[in-house]
Structure 1
Amino acid sequence: MDQPPRHPTTVSRKGPRELVVTRRFDHPAAAVFAAWTRADLFRQWWAPKSMGAVIAACEIDARPGGGYRLTFGEGAEAMTFFGRYVEVTPPHRLVWTNEEGEDGPVTTVTFEDDGGRTLLVMSELYPGEVPQDAVAGMEAMAGEQFGQLDSLLAARA
């Protein structure tokens, strides 16, 4: 029987335009930040394994004005997500755009260090009301993604 995660992932709305995800990690902020900004680490945890999604390509240039590009699948089935980093403040804060559609949110992730542990808060601010499919998708995926991130961090500790 699966044990519940030690630190659950919460997904909530903060007003009509913002979706917020929080999770605690028993790892320093610098380690959690690195897993978000290094392509070799990011590709190991971002795609939920239960969904069979595979990151075929991952490019991350985590600096203000730099960009990211993630491709899932191959050929006609491939989906690519991309955007620009607006703010990068190691190991405390990342802000990026999501440019694959007109209604893409701006994502902000903060990494609050708490004596070797980290409180991660990810906020997605949409130009209009948060689409219902974004809420459902985040609720379906975030717990597994962050569980995979926690496992990666534990293996690297």
Structure 2
Amino acid sequence: MQNRTTVERMSDRELVVTRSFDAPARIVFEAWTKPELFRRWWAPKSMGMFLRSCEMDVRVGGGYRLVFGHDDSQPAEFFGRYLEVTPPSRLVWTNDEGGNGGPVTTLTFEEKGGRTLLVMRELYPSKEALDAGAGAADAMSEQFEQLDELLATL
């Protein structure tokens, strides 16, 4: 069965992305929280991007820093801190690279029959911030396909 990524604007400030994965929640959670796994699927390959560095201290109050780039471009940094870490069902973090304009991201992992439904909610501080950041959701389908490929090997 083909897994499909859906992206839906729930309000002026909230974007919700859903996807089912053919793996137990524990494994999907690890792919989001272990740097050695995360770096293998997060950067969209079609854009020629890769993670130059991936630092993750996945605990309440811990932080993350992701540095993306192309071979010939200025790197882009994404960073924030973890607000909630409940393995293997829930993960919440801030996106601080935009100052106060970044969303808070909440992931829930719901397992049924060895499959995991991932629901990703991004709550932005304003409609303008969501409008500015919504383009990143376009890459999620490719990223989640790459995650599917990784999960098949674990």
Normalising by structure 1, what TM-score? 0.91
1:27–1:133 distance in 2 versus 1, CA, 3 Å: same
Unaligned stretches of 5+ in structure 1? Answer: none
Unaligned stretches of 5+ in structure 2? Answer: none
Structure 1 residue aligned with 2:86? 89
Counting only pairs closer than 5 Å after superposition, residues 125-136 of structure 1 correspond to structure 2 as 125-129=123-127, 130-136=129-135
Structure 2 residue aligned with 1:77? 74
Structure 2 residue aligned with 1:119? 117
Rounded Cα–Cα distance in structure 2 between residues aligned with 1:115 and 1:62: 27
Counting only pairs closer than 5 Å after superposition, residues 3-152 of structure 1 correspond to structure 2 as 6-73=2-69, 77-101=74-98, 102-129=100-127, 130-138=129-137, 140-152=138-150
Q: Aligned-pair distance for 1:75?
A: 9.0
Q: Aligned-pair distance for 1:19?
A: 0.4
Letter in 2 for 1:122: M
Cα contact 2:52–2:67 (8 A) shared by 1: yes
Rounded Cα–Cα distance in structure 1 between residues aligned with 2:142 and 2:124: 23
Q: Percent identity?
A: 60
Rounded Cα–Cα distance in structure 2 between residues aligned with 1:50 and 1:144: 8
Q: Aligned-pair distance for 1:133?
A: 3.9
Normalising by structure 2, what TM-score? 0.93
Rounded Cα–Cα distance in structure 1 between residues aligned with 2:73 and 2:152: 36
Q: Count residues with an aligned counterpart.
A: 151
Q: Aligned-pair distance for 1:131?
A: 2.9
Rounded Cα–Cα distance in structure 1 between residues aligned with 2:72 and 2:144: 28
For residues 75-121 of structure 1, what are the alpha-carbon distances to aligned partners after superposition, in whole Å with 9 as ceiling and x for unaligned? Answer: 97011110000000000000000000130000000000112110000
